[in-house]
Amino acid sequence: MAKKPDSFFKQAGALPYRWDGERVEIVLITSRSSGNWIFPKGVIDPGETPESTAVKETVEEAGVIGELTGDALGAYEQKKWGGVAKVKVFPLLVTELLDDWDECEIRERQLLPIKEAKELIHDRLTEILAAFEEQVLSGAIQPAG
């Protein structure tokens, strides 16, 4: 397979979350290729910003509508397409969960407390989730109201 253009290796995604009372729940989806639990993400297309890509991919891949609530939590690298993609991840507050979305037939979705989400994700995502959890614990991210 031919290597993808350099632009394919710049990606953005979101860590979707919602509040259930005082508890935070994280939205995870399955990867199409491996079935591993991941955060939604995708290639930053020409004319898009990392932020707009994160919001768009979250709707397409996870059926989640929401709004970004801060700067990138961090970035991770993923070997893909004969190269290494760098993925920036932003916190996204869930405002609506769709019952039907673009990739609902090919992905699973679940909402989990942070502790349970940590047990399902791969190491490269744990730093992102840890940065998010630190913001929750410090009060930088808190329930609306």
Note the pTM of the prediction, 2 decimals. Answer: 0.90
Q: Which distant-in-sequence residues (6+ apart) come within 8 Å of 95 by Cβ?
A: 65, 66, 67
Domains of the chain with CATH codes:
6-138 (3.90.79.10)
Q: Look at residue 81 and tell me whether its pLDDT is greater than 70.
A: no
Q: Alpha-carbon distance 37 to 42, whole Å?
A: 15
Give catalytic residue positions.
Answer: 60
pLDDT tens for each residue of 87-136: 999 999 999 999 999 999 999 999 999 999 999 998 789 999 999 999 99
- What amino acid occupies position 135? Q
